[in-house]
Every structure is written in C-alpha cells, then in structure tokens.
Structure 1
Amino acid sequence: MQTRRGSLPHERFPDLFATAEQLPDGLVLNGELVVWNTAAGRLSFEALQRRSAADAWRSCSRPARCPSRGP
C-alpha cells in the first residue's frame, strides 16, 4: 500500500496495512480512503485529515475511533 506520491503511510493506517497483508500477492487495487462518521451517518473528511496528520496516531489513538475504509 502506498500513496500516489509513493510514500508508505503504514504508521498512520496500521489497521489497513494489517488487512492488506492478507490479500493475495500481486493484487493491485486503486482507490481512496474514507472515514465513516457513524454518529452522523456520513463520510467525514475532517476525520480523515486528523487520521492522516503527522501526529494522527496521537489524535486517534485507536483505529476503531477513526476507522478508515479502502475501496
């Protein structure tokens, strides 16, 4: 898993990396990440920004609080 610029955001999305490791070798997926706000019943761009920030793991210490979803 890598960003369009080639960086590996594994420190910000360890839950997605753990899931991606279970996928077959050579599989290519193209998409974007979203964060679902369960309380509001909609996507939350703000939550994704918090999760993607350099200090995201401090602001969202548990992935379950700011779950991200792949394509």
Structure 2
Amino acid sequence: MSSPVILEDLQEAFPGWCIWRSSAGRLWATRNGRRLSQYEIDHGLCQTIDADDVAQLAEQLREQEAAERAL
C-alpha cells in the first residue's frame, strides 16, 4: 500500500476506522462499529489513536492492523 497523503486516502485505506482532524489540528482515528474487549486492549489494540500528521497516523493504523492479525 502506498502512503496515504490526505485524510480521504487514509479513510479509504482503513475503512474500519473513523478518521478526523480536531479543531486543534491533531489527527484522530477511532474504530467503527465495535468496542474492543479487555483482552484485545491488554494485547495492544486501541479503540482510539491520535497523531501529529497523516504519516504518523497511517503508521499507527498499520501497527493496529498488524496487532489485530496477530491475535
């Protein structure tokens, strides 16, 4: 996958997440449609993540997907 460069690209690349920019300019992503179990949280999954820029958020989203596959 190429590196997403705009929020729409990021949303398309990670459809299981709702992604937005806060009024302070920080990027956020939260999982769509389900709550994580305590087991999943204990094993590194996050319900919501944030980052300074699109590249950082994309990396965190890739890490979350990898952690989820590992479970």
Judge same fold: TM > 0.5, yes or no: no
| Between structures 1 and 2, the one with greater helix share | 2
| Between structures 1 and 2, the one with greater strand share | 2
What is the TM-score when the length of structure 1 is the normalising length?
0.29
Name the structure, 1 or 2, with higher relative contact order (CA <8 Å, separation 6+). 1
